[in-house]
Amino acid sequence: MNLKPSAMNPERKITIKDIAKKAGVSAGTVDRVLHNRGEVSEKSKAKIRKTLEELHYEPNLIASSLSAKKTYLFITLIPSFNPGDYWEEVDKGIDRAMSEVAKFNVFIEKRYFNQFDAQSFFSAIDDLENAECNGVMLSPILRDKSLMFTAKMKQRHISVVFIDSQVDGADFLAYFGQPSFQSGYVGAKTLMLQVKDNQNVLLFRTLRKGFIGANQTLQRQEGFLSFLSEYRPNISVINVELQAGNPELNEILMKQAFDERNQIGAAVIFNSTAFNIASFLERSDIHDVVLLGYDALARNVHYLKQGQISMLIAQRPETQSYNGIKALFNCLVLKQSVNHINYMPIDLLYKENVDFYTHYEQY
């Protein structure tokens, strides 16, 4: 195995025999620890790890991966999307990671489902349970089905990464996304600064075929209501259930909800479609309602700058999916440990700072 030169002697490469001799174990034991395979006692592991630190050992992981000539298949499962949708950014992150890992004999198969139809998710998961692959990255929008899926994957020794939504109790390798409950809590804490005690709040939800809401949006809602219960218990919440794919009915529902007799001071929706509500406010010439939405989509940013949306909470979707693929790669190909929970920042965007966020280039 080729090893990088040590920091103490940059001209000489450290060998497994060097490590074994200094640690007082066999070369085979060192090899098993370095490649995370086979049984090794905790005492021997501790000796080897201490020796690796003392020798400033760093393996040439790229060379060893290429020399193995093993191929890997990762499968991703996310909602299908139209141009400009939230999931388009997630898909871009997958593509970015794909271009980096392809040279290591890693292939990625992208799969999609209809996020507005529970049966579409069920069918996609059923197909995925029997797929031949090394790792899976998905958005677990429905909790119970996702729990069953991860249990099945554990039996098959297939690693699973979650993005966008975390499922407590599931057996997964890593999660990349916001802490959803805290995100809703922070949203309420910020929004309520602009709401008077005699005003009410509209809480919009999107009903989908076969289920009420996605796992993530339900957790955000729980956090939002938790803050109100603790600090603004006198505020009344009016629930409005919009229908996915039915804009005519939604127009009627919003007219009823924003009736001046309801004394609405604020509104919130926990998915990326705040632009639909903002468009209604613009058409109806309503200017005295504070609206909180999620995600820095171009359509949302447009209304943020115009003032119909007061605040957006963003969550870096491309970074989530990119890091999710790299977690599978680091674990399965490079045999490195990865962090289990990886929270994205709760980014609060206003018209005064949104350009610095959306125009920022990562290098």
Residues 262 and 306 in one domain: yes
Based on the fold, state whether residues 134 and 55 are members of the same structural domain.
no
Classify residue 242: in a domain, yes or no.
yes
Instruction: Report the share of the chain in percent with pLDDT over 70.
Output: 90
pLDDT (0 to 100) of residue 363: 45
pLDDT of residue 63: 58
Model confidence at 361, pLDDT cuts 50, 70, 90, reads low
Q: pLDDT per residue over 252-294, tens digit each? A: 999 999 998 999 999 999 999 999 999 999 999 999 999 999 9
Q: How many domains does the chain have?
A: 3
User: Is residue 334 assigned to a domain?
Assistant: yes
| Separation CA 246–CA 218 (nearest Å) | 21
**Is residue 324, in this structure, part of any structural domain at all?**
yes
Interstrand relation of 347-349 and 311-314 (parallel, antiparallel or unpaired)? antiparallel
> Same structural domain for residues 247 and 328?
no
> What sections of the chain are H helices per DSSP?
16-23, 27-34, 42-54, 61-68, 86-101, 118-129, 143-155, 180-191, 215-231, 247-257, 274-283, 298-306, 317-332, 354-358
Across the range 240-261, mean pLDDT stands at: 94
Please tell me the least confidently modeled range out of 7-11, 156-160, 246-250, 359-363.
7-11
| pTM score | 0.80
For residues 51-57, average pLDDT: 79
Which two tokens mark 261? 């007799």
**Residue 8 confidence (pLDDT):** 43
Tell me: do 191 and 310 sit in the same domain: yes
Identify the pLDDT of residue 344. 95
pLDDT digits (tens, 9 = 90+) for 74-110: 999 999 999 999 999 999 999 999 999 998 999 999 9
Q: Mean pLDDT score of the chain, rounded to an integer?
A: 90
158: in domain: yes
Give the model's pLDDT for residue 10. Answer: 46
168/84 same-domain check: yes
DSSP 3-state of 354: helix
Residues 104, 124 within the same domain:
yes
Query: Do 224 and 184 contact (CB within 8 A), yes or no?
Result: yes
CATH number at residue 326: 3.40.50.2300
Residue 8 is assigned to a structural domain of this protein: no
Residues 52, 170 share a domain: no
- Strand boundaries in 208-276, DSSP class E: 236-243, 264-269
Better-scored residue on pLDDT, 10 or 233: 233
Residue 132 has pLDDT above 90, yes or no: yes
pLDDT surpassing 60 at residue 65:
no
pLDDT confidence tier of residue 308, bands split at 50, 70 and 90: very high
- Tens digits of per-residue pLDDT, 169-182? 999 999 999 999 99
Domain that residue 27 falls in: 16-59
- Looking at the fold, whether 310 and 326 belong to one and the same domain comes out as no
Do 258 and 286 lie in one domain? The reply is yes
